[in-house]
Amino acid sequence: MGVLIRDLLSFKEFESARVIAGHKGLLNEVLRINFLELTLREFREKICVDVDKFISIGDLYLTSSNFFDKVGVDFYEEFLSLIRQRSCGICIVGYKEGTIDDSIIKLVNDNGYPIIALDYTTAYSNLIDIVMNAIVRDKSDKRIDNLLYKIMHTECSCTQILEYINEMNPNLKNNYVALYIEVPNNNITNMIRNRIFTNNREIFVHRLNKGTLVVISTDDDFSTIDEEIKKIKELLIKQFNNIIIGVSDYYRSLERFKESINEAIFSFKFARRNKALIVNHNDLGIETWLNKIKDDKDLLSYVNEVLEPIIKYEKENNIDLYKIIKAFVKYEGNYKRISKELYLHENTVRYRMDKIKDILKVGNNKVTLYTKLNIVVILKSILNLG
């Protein structure tokens, strides 16, 4: 989608920024940053050309409050011209209350043209650097999107994976971990990129799907990575009430980059499903290993073999047996707790569990029944997580 005005507000240099009006235009794309020093009349009189030719689509204008002290200027017409030429917004450094009158406020609100006020101490050079770097970064991100897609969705040799990683970030180290993060905010990628400053590590940050992928690498031991994860967690907790983080296993070879990303995403989905803040892949127990082999054809065949007769019986008798199975696994076969969970009489639970035993042909061997159902429930959950 490119660099949006909203994205720029996540940078530290825009901490003092306040949107005066035109909030609907925060999704406007920024293609260039430009100065607004001359009014329309001054531009025509001093340069003798049509000002409209110098206003480009996607221009973000930068000016000071002094610009609006000029006498005899129709500032409504000034803003109307900027909007007509499809520039994307304006930043006013040292904005003073009352600088923009109500007619202009209505104009920019109606047209989604943001007016952003900045503290008078904000350096123009810093704003220019941030905007230009963000535009360059956006082009780089599109290239990284393509490389990540190749790593994640095509059959790559180890050599190819290392070549793609070198293109994305040649400074990544062999000791690393992947995190997948989601918060109730449209863009935290820039915030993480620009507010995490530490030594002895290289951090790769990239927006992936609806979340943010963070790869932390180091030449030191993994305690350095633990410190980085703690810093990122603390940063996000300060900013947001609800965050979810999935963490992969720790690796010592970039050849397993794809595996680490998949683990981070899987751990994130597991955390989201279980309403947890952060989940480490190596803490998932049996889920960790079943996740690694979830695409095995024999394993999938086993799940189908167990579930198909259950599903068939459910359809033919209009009854939900799978919720009984999940509760049976959850409470390790304790019928009283199952009946309380499902609001069913205990005898009803026993009757339906007897029916499940008959369908699966396991007799009265409760250990065999529990083992089989436990594996199937976990696998089905993993497959549902993607």
Rounded to whole angstroms, the Cα distance separating 233 from 205 reads: 14
Show Cβ contacts of residue 353 under 8 Å, excluding neighbours closer than 6 positions: 324, 328, 335
User: What does pTM read for this prediction?
Assistant: 0.59
Note the pLDDT of residue 220. Answer: 84
| Phi and psi angles of residue 170, each rounded to the nearest 5 degrees, phi first | -70, -5
Q: What is the DSSP letter of 56?
A: P
Strands 115-118 and 89-93: parallel
Rounded to whole angstroms, the Cα distance separating 273 from 342 reads: 20
- Quickly list DSSP for 278-333: EEEGGGSTHHHHHHHTTT-HHHHHHHHHHHHHHHHHHHHHT---HHHHHHHHHTTT
52-86 pLDDT, tens digit per residue, is 666 778 999 999 999 998 888 999 999 998 998 89
Specify the DSSP element, H or E, that contains 158.
helix 158-168
- Select 297-385's CATH number: 3.30.360.10, 3.40.50.2300, 1.10.10.2840, 2.60.200.20: 1.10.10.2840
Q: Return the higher-pLDDT residue of 300 and 1.
A: 300
pLDDT of 186 above 60: no
CA distances, 138 to each of 2, 196, 213 (Å):
6, 19, 16
Rounded to whole angstroms, the Cα distance separating 49 from 28 reads: 28
Q: Which of helix, strand or coil describes residue 215?
A: strand
Rounded to whole angstroms, the Cα distance separating 281 from 268 reads: 9
Sign of CA dihedral 290, 295, 299, 300: positive
pLDDT of 198 above 60: no
pLDDT of 382 above 70: no
Instruction: Name the residue with tokens 């704003």.
Output: 127
Note the pLDDT of residue 167. Answer: 92
> How is the chain split into domains, by residue range?
5-130, 155-282, 297-385
Note the pLDDT of residue 117. Answer: 94
pLDDT of 197 above 60: no
Q: Check if the beta carbon of residue 101 is closer than 8 Å to that of residue 7.
A: no
Q: Check if the beta carbon of residue 92 is closer than 8 Å to that of residue 65.
A: yes
Q: Which amino acid makes up residue 51?
A: V
Note the pLDDT of residue 254. Answer: 94
CA distances, 343 to each of 234, 268, 336 (Å):
41, 31, 10
123-149 pLDDT, tens digit per residue, is 889 899 989 988 887 888 889 999 999
* Range among 31-40, 82-91, 290-299 rated most confident: 82-91
Q: What is the mean pLDDT of residues 19-23?
A: 95
Write down the CATH superfamily of domain 155-282: Reverse transcriptase/Diguanylate cyclase domain (3.30.70.270)
pLDDT of 7 above 60: yes
pLDDT of 298 above 80: no
pLDDT bracket for residue 110 (50, 70, 90): very high
pLDDT of 253 above 80: yes
Note the pLDDT of residue 295. Answer: 64
Query: Percentage of the chain surpassing pLDDT 70?
Result: 89
Give the torsion through C-alpha atoms of 221, 223, 229, 235, to 10 deg: -120
Q: Check if the beta carbon of residue 138 is closer than 8 Å to that of residue 218.
A: no
Q: For the chain, what is the largest distance between any 2 Cα atoms, rounded to a whole number of angstroms?
A: 97
- Residue 267, CB-side half-sphere exposure with 13 Å CA sphere: 29
pLDDT bracket for residue 383 (50, 70, 90): low
Q: Which of helix, strand or coil describes residue 202?
A: strand
Rounded to whole angstroms, the Cα distance separating 366 from 332 reads: 10
pLDDT bracket for residue 3 (50, 70, 90): confident
Q: Return the higher-pLDDT residue of 381 and 6.
A: 6
Note the pLDDT of residue 44. Answer: 72
Of the given ranges (234-248, 292-306, 340-354, 366-380), which has the lowest mean pLDDT? 292-306
Q: Return the higher-pLDDT residue of 109 and 295.
A: 109
Note the pLDDT of residue 53. Answer: 63
Query: Percentage of the chain surpassing pLDDT 90?
Result: 32
Q: Topology of domain 5-130, per CATH?
A: 3.40.1390
Note the pLDDT of residue 291. Answer: 65
pLDDT of 184 above 70: no
pLDDT bracket for residue 111 (50, 70, 90): very high
